[in-house]
Structure 1
Amino acid sequence: MAAVRGGGILPGVDAGGVRRVDGRTRVGLVGVGAIARTHLEVLAERSEVDLVFTVDPRAEPPMFRGATPAHHRDLDDALAAHRPHLVVVATPADSHADLAAAVLTGSDARVLVEKPLAPDPASVDRLRGVAGSHGRLFTAHHFAFSPEVRWAADLVAAHPEWGPVTAVTSAFNDPYVLKGEQAFTSYLSAWTDSGINQLTVLARLVRVDEVTSLRDERTSCWAVASFRSRGAVGEARLHTSWRTGASSKSTAFTCGDVEVWLDHTAMTGFAFRGGELLAEHGGDGRTPRKVAHYRPLYASLLSDRPDPILGLAAAASLTDLHATAGRRS
């Protein structure tokens, strides 16, 4: 099984950057639902970006910098009318593979797909065949870019004397039970939606080898994963749940006698040994959580060297981890 590695994880991402004309990057957005709002907010901050079209068969076009971009009900029509450099797919998970394939075959644009890229390895393999070796397909593993996660990864890397990461406990809770059946349509299950976020947090810190067990009840799940850190083997315990009235996400891990706690909801963290505080992390109190994730994600994606955790190899590894767990449960 391919393994997800932490800290700049996998080789093979094209370093050519997104092609631009006169310094402008033409972007198309497929799906204008809730998650699209974050993409629109962050893209609007980037002066080199022009949103040239949106696609959604059921929704009205959103505003972008005070104007309404061209809106299409059909993706093929949009690709025929425009020549985007980047197309963002922000639709329900079970539509990702077909829409990404349509962009890859119908244009020469790069594609950024919301996570998960696809729910099964067969769909990822099909996309690999369509994308080829050109490095055009990326997945928005946005939790890998959360400020407290990057802080923790840098902190561990800066202190090899602490030893390897040996144990991780992570809990991700979202109030999707309030959405009823709509939650399953949009997010499929707690494991599919949040488990991949937990795995990408792990990927910043350790090399994830295998999800060894999974109890998946759709609205909640309990998973155990094995990993390696500085030559040592460790275990991660992952709990996800929709059975809550509020969002709450946290991760705790140990390195020898040092403990690190991350609050992903507040984007804060601290490290301590016994009664001694070793380090802490906080934010400016003004930046919304998802904006804080997607700003560095887009900065990386639109650079000459996108972070490998956005690439197809990382998405394939994460999909394999999910699928293997599913077969064992």
Structure 2
Amino acid sequence: MADVVRVGLVGLGVIARTHLAVLAERADVELEFTVDPGQEEGPGFRGGRPAHYRGLAEALAVHRPDLIVLATPTDTHVELAREALLGSTARVLVEKPISHDLAALARLEDPAELPEQADVHGRLFTAHHFAFSPEVAWAAALIAGHPEWGPVTTITSAFHDPYVLTGEAAFAVYGSSWVDSGVNQLSMFTRFVEFTELTGARLTDGGATAWCTAEFRSRGATGTARLRSSWLTGISSKGSCLALAGSGVEVWLDHTAMTGFAARGGELLDAFGNDGRTDRKVAHYRPLYASLLSDRPDPVLGFEAAARIARIHHAVPRD
């Protein structure tokens, strides 16, 4: 990337605030323009106000960004990514999930739709931010550093969000609890295992709750992930446990508190905490941007990971 990275931000909704906060911290970044058809002007940035446009094509006719961030509704991602890849030479970061539509996703891989110079595999990235959460990074390093513990055999994860309080608006924005949280769970656990297929999916309460299972490979063995998500709660609460049954080790993660510990029977093996001063999403996006703006972005951000996660996420489970 350039010494000073020129950024264009498309979409000025809630998640854009996190992007702006993290970008403003970086001395190697300049926010060159913003785009949102629903706003007359963009936000302030380091005491100034970057150029604002109602459409991406209008912005790209004037600017030559190094990075374009797409923080827009999911159903706009594919077409905007295509427009950004064809209309610039920039890296493109799209909010997760990359697409709810597998046919639209396939168009990004079709040479007839996008020429080779679009470089989908080299320039298109997805913001799988949970994979960068501090407790996840700690647990991944801990397990990798202890091959004698053997493979991960079972993953149990529960993500609860208080979207029941917003009623139908939650479905309009997030689709369902599985659509919203499943991508976070699948992308996060790619730090530890290789998912092979979705083996079960049961959505209840009109999609506000879900119980899904998936098969994975870990250190040559096969394991099962049990993934629960629900909006039927008054507060946010997210937690996971990775069991390595061969050694009796369990690694427990609290994603809301960004803490964790590892234990075997009555023995505490290790623990992880945080200072409590950093907003959770900022704690995710700081290392995400550090990786994205490096010479070798983390593979979990890459198009291959996004396409694989999307296909497992939307697979038809076997009976």
Same fold flag (TM > 0.5) = yes
Counterpart CA distance in 1 for 2:123 and 2:318 is 33
Q: 2:286 corresponds to which residue? A: 295
Aligned amino acid, residue 51 of structure 1: L
Determine the C-alpha separation between the residues in 2 that align with 1:65 and 1:186: 30
2:146 equivalent in structure 1 = 159
What's the counterpart of residue 262 of structure 1?
A: 253
The code of the aligned residue for 1:46 comes to: R
User: Cα deviation per residue 1:104-142 (whole Å; 9 max; x = unaligned)?
Assistant: 111111110000001122212212232445611000000
Residues 199-238 of structure 1: per-residue CA shift (max 9 Å, x gap): 0121111111111111124211110011111111111100
Taking the aligned partners of 2:303 and 2:293, their CA distance within structure 1 comes to: 16
Q: Paired residue for 2:273? A: 282
Please point out which of 19, 36, 42 is paired with 1:39: 19
For the pair 1:25 / 2:5, whether they are aligned, the reply is yes
Distance 2:251 2:121 in 1: 39
CA distance in 2, matches of 1:35, 1:133: 24
Query: Aligned residue for 1:9?
Result: none
Does the CA contact (< 8 Å) of 2:99 and 2:310 recur in 1? yes
Equivalent residue, structure 1, for 2:263: 272
Gap regions ≥5 residues in structure 1:
1-17
Matched, 1:50 2:30: yes
Shift of 1:182: 2.5
Counterparts of 1:50 and 1:308, CA distance in 2 = 25
1:244 corresponds to 2:237: no
Which amino acid letter does the alignment assign opposite residue 324 of structure 1?
A
Instruction: Check if 1:108 corresponds to 2:89.
Output: yes
Aligned residues of 2:108 and 2:120 also touching (Cα < 8 A): no
Task: Report the RMSD for the aligned CA atoms in angstroms.
Answer: 1.4
AA matched with 2:290 = A
- The number of residue pairs the alignment matches comes to 308
Which ranges of 4 or more aligned residues in structure 1 deviate by more than 4 Å?
none
Q: Secondary structure at the match of 1:204?
A: coil
Q: Secondary structure at the match of 1:135?
A: helix
Structure 2 CA distance for aligned equivalents of residues 76 and 158 of structure 1? 47
| Structure 1 CA distance for aligned equivalents of residues 274 and 163 of structure 2 | 27
Amino acid in the other structure paired with 1:165: V
CA distance in 1, matches of 2:59, 2:203: 38
Once residues 146 and 121 of structure 2 are traced to their aligned partners in structure 1, the CA distance between those partners, rounded to angstroms, is 37
* 1:15-65 residue CA offsets vs partner (Å, 9 max, x unmatched): xxx3x2xx2110000011100000000001110100011111113411211
Q: The residue matched to 2:190 in structure 1 has which SS?
A: helix
- Normalised by the length of structure 2, the TM-score is 0.93
Bigger mean CA offset, 96-105 vs 58-67: 58-67
Identity of aligned residues (%): 63
Amino acid at match of 2:151: P
**1:309 corresponding residue in structure 2:** 300
